[in-house]
Structure 1
């Protein structure tokens, strides 16, 4: 997820930059679903598709998205509004 988020966030297109976390999440979930489908079809040596793996994929994407959102919120520069700015007497 991090790689797709980074690629989307450095894009020249504002829509991709704005929604980079969502794009990364969707692509990561799609990759996990494709892997589970390949497991079920027998393309990989495994016991088949697993509900536990699908839930783990979903939880991993949710935790990563929450961490990215929290980091973005904490690192965002704070802008003082006109009402919160103190004026010193001269």
Structure 2
């Protein structure tokens, strides 16, 4: 068997999830090897999730920077109050 291929008697997690969701879908897709008719919608969903992942990757460092700025501001306010009240 070539590297990267699984034996035909193994069942993937996706196949199990597909069967649990709809046995008829599993029969058509895996048993009869009929591709899903909603390929365009599936590709649109993939693009949508890729965009969301990109936004998340960009936003996470900005949120972290914002937290550091807030923490520095609070420390600055506490230091100023300490100087004024001593």
TM-score, L = length of structure 1: 0.32
Larger radius of gyration: 2
TM-score, L = length of structure 2: 0.33
